[in-house]
Amino acid sequence: MDKVQQEVDHLYKKYFGKMVASLLYFSQEIDLETAEDLVQDSYSSALTSWKSDGIPANPEGWIYKVCKNKALNKIKKEKRVRGITVNEDFLFQDPHSSDSVVDDYQLRLLFACAHPDLSPKVQVVITLKYVINLKIESIAKVLAMTIDGVDKLLSRARQKIREEKVPLQEPDVLTLHSRIHIVHKILYLLFNEGYKSSWGKELLREELCEEALLMAKTLIDGNIGNKETAALYALMLFNAARFKARIGSNGELLDLEEQDRSLWNKDLIRYACTFLHQSKGGPVSSYHYEATIAYLHCTAKDFNSTDWVSVSKLYLQLLQMNPNPFVELNYSIALYYSGQKKKAFKILNELQQKPFFNQYYLLNATLGKFNLLEGNNSVAREFFLKTLQQTEFEIEKEYIRKQINKIKN
C-alpha cells in the first residue's frame, strides 16, 4: 500500500466518527446519511489530491476544512432553492470540548449509539461504524455477516435516527446515567465478538477486544462508570489474559483443559483482580458473576483443581437472574466437573428435548465429550458426528474431528 493510502486509512480510522458527529453538531440541516456522504467524499478528495500534491502538513485539518466547505455548499444550495441565505460565520469545532461531562469524543458517541430504541446488535454495528470507525467490509468480517446484511442494519438504524430525530449527540447527564447499562452491554458484546475463537487468530479481532477494554477503562477513569463497569472490566481482563493460549502452535483450538496455563498473562490476571475487588459493594450484576467465574478459572492451578462447586453455584445465580438454556448448558458442565454427574446429564437431556436447542453444536459437543469421559464411546461418536453438521467454522470442525480421533485410538 502506498503512503498516501496508508495515511488516509489511518485518518479514517481515527476521525471518521468524529467528523460525522461534528457535522451533525454543526447544522440541524444535515442528517446522518448526508453527513456520512460528505465525510466519505472528503476522504476521497484527500486521496486524489494528496496523490498529486503530496500530504499536507496538517492532514486532518485539511480534511476537516474540505468537509466543512462541502457541508456549507450543500446547505447553501438547499437554502437557495428555498430563497434563504445562510450565515457563513460559524466555527467548525466541537461545541462541547470545554464544558462536557464526557471528555472523550469517542465515549460521547458511544453513549449516543446506546439508544434504547435500537437492538443490541444494531447498537454494536453503529458503534463499530461511528465510534471505532470500521469500514463496512470490516464490520461484516468481525460480525460474521454479509456486507449486504450490515448495510441493511445500518440503513434501518439511519432511518430510525432520521424519523424519530434520535440525535447522535451527547446525551445530558440524566440520560448518561440511564444509558450506562446499555453502554456496558455494547462493550460486553464488542469484546465477545473479538474474543470468539471460531475465527482463529486474527489481528482485527484482537484489536476489537482492545478497543472494548480501552473504552471501559476510560469510563472508569472519567468517573462515569460504576461498580458494574469495574466488574465488566475485570471480566474482560480475565479473558484477555487467556487470549493467546486458546490457539495451539498449529492454529488449532484448545479447550480450557488443554491450554498451557503458563501462557496466561499473570500481570493481567492480577490487574483484573483489583477491579473485581473494586466492583464489590453495589448491586450485583451478571458481569459480577461472570467475572467471578473467570477469576476462579484464572487462579486455578490446573483444570482439575478448579473450584467447580463454586463455579456451578455462580452459574446457578446467573440462571436465577436470567433463565435461559445457554446458561443452563454452562451450569450443567460445571455440575459435571464438580462431581454431580447425574444432575448434569439430567439437564443436558432436557436441553436435548428442546427442538431449537437440539440444533446447538455446543450442546452436542458437550454430550459427546461427557459420554466419551464416561466410556460410552459409540454414543459419544454419534453426538460428535451430529456436531460436525452444526458448525460452519473449520477450526471448530477440526476440534470435533480431534475428539472423534480420540475414540478410534
Partner 1 sequence: MEKFLLLIREDLKKMSEMSEEEFNRDLQLMMTWMESLSESGDLGTGEPLLTTGRYVNKDRVLSDGPFLEAKEAISGYMIITAENLDQAASMTQTCPLIIEGKIAIEVRQIWK
Contact positions toward partner 1, by CB under 8 A? 116-122, 149, 152-153, 156, 160, 182, 185, 188-189, 192, 286, 322-327, 354-357, 359-360, 390
Helix (H, G, I), strand (E, B) or coil at 8: helix
Main-chain phi, psi angles of 254, to 5 degrees: -115, 130
Cβ-based nearer residue to partner 1, 196 or 313: 196
CA dihedral sign, ordered 150, 153, 158, 161: negative
Contact 247, 253 (CB under 8 A): yes
Q: How far is the CB of 118 from partner 1 (least distance, A)?
A: 5
Cβ-based nearer residue to partner 1, 268 or 347: 347
Q: How far is the CB of 116 from partner 1 (least distance, A)?
A: 4
Helix (H, G, I), strand (E, B) or coil at 394: helix
Quote the cell numbers at residue 327: 446458561
Q: How far is the CB of 189 from partner 1 (least distance, A)?
A: 6
Distance CA 363, CA 341 (A): 16
Cβ-based nearer residue to partner 1, 185 or 402: 185
Cβ-based nearer residue to partner 1, 281 or 323: 323
Q: How far is the CB of 190 from partner 1 (least distance, A)?
A: 11
Q: How far is the CB of 361 from partner 1 (least distance, A)?
A: 9
Cβ-based nearer residue to partner 1, 223 or 353: 353
Cβ-based nearer residue to partner 1, 61 or 116: 116
Residue 313: count of CB within 10 angstroms of its CB:
17
Q: How far is the CB of 317 from partner 1 (least distance, A)?
A: 14
Distance CA 269, CA 31 (A): 45
Cβ-based nearer residue to partner 1, 312 or 391: 391
CA diameter of the chain = 84
Q: How far is the CB of 279 from partner 1 (least distance, A)?
A: 17
Q: Which of 377, 389, 393, 394 is nearest to 403 (CA)?
A: 377
DSSP one-letter code for 243: G
Spatial neighbors of 282 by CB under 8 A, at least 6 apart, are 226, 227, 228
